[in-house]
Amino acid sequence: MTLRPEEFGYYIVTASIPGNISQNYTVTYHVISERKPDAPSNISLDCSISNGRAFIKWIPGFNGGVDQTFVVSYRTNTGLQKNTAQINLQSYATVTGLRDQTLYLFKVVASNRNGETSSEEVHCTTKESTVPNISGTIGGIVGSIFLLIVIALFIFIIRKYQIKCLERVPNLGYAHNKLFNYLTKYMLH
């Protein structure tokens, strides 16, 4: 059924149930032409559900008289806009692939064959990563191994030097032996 523009407007329909106690039911309809959908409203956003994700939900507006779809658009405050896949029936979405601890701006775009409208932008900051910083751990391990190698090399050189000195001069005397004993006992152990 196709309506002409002069047939648009408000219609009041009253239904009556006859009997001892008469009951009337009245409903008012507003008949309008097809148009682009109303903007989604009551946007709710949660960026703390897990790392790199945000959950967004909304209340759809009037569909304009035809089926509507939704797309969630998001961006950083300085970045390019990205869009999720088209959402048909539900009024929520989970956005993935976000950077941790980053401020994002979101909006929901409602579309039908007559056009599109956008909700107000809402924002949130994604959750801090709970994944341990493995590079710091690896750096600490590599640094410790390097330090152990340097100390072992130092001990090897000192002992080799001590042995060579003792081979050249068998009786260096009390002071020389005391110095090497001190180094090997307190400095190297």
Whole-angstrom distance, CA of residue 87 vs CA of residue 69: 6
Q: Please tell me whether residues 119 and 159 are part of one structural domain.
A: no
Joined together, the tokens standing for residue 179 give 């110095």
- What secondary structure does DSSP assign to 90-142, as a single string? -SEEEEE-PPTT-EEEEEEEEEETTEEEE---EEEEPPPP-S--HHHHHHHHH
pLDDT digit string, tens, across residues 162-185: 666 555 555 555 555 666 666 666
pLDDT digit string, tens, across residues 92-129: 999 988 988 889 999 999 999 999 999 999 999 988 76
- pTM reported for the whole predicted model: 0.57
Q: Please tell me whether residues 50 and 83 are part of one structural domain.
A: yes
Q: What is the domain-level CATH number for residue 82? A: 2.60.40.10
Whole-angstrom distance, CA of residue 88 vs CA of residue 147: 61
Tell me the helix, strand and coil percentages in the chain, rounded to 5. Answer: 30, 35, 40
Q: Please tell me whether residues 91 and 141 are part of one structural domain.
A: no
In the 8-state DSSP scheme, what is residue 7?
Answer: G
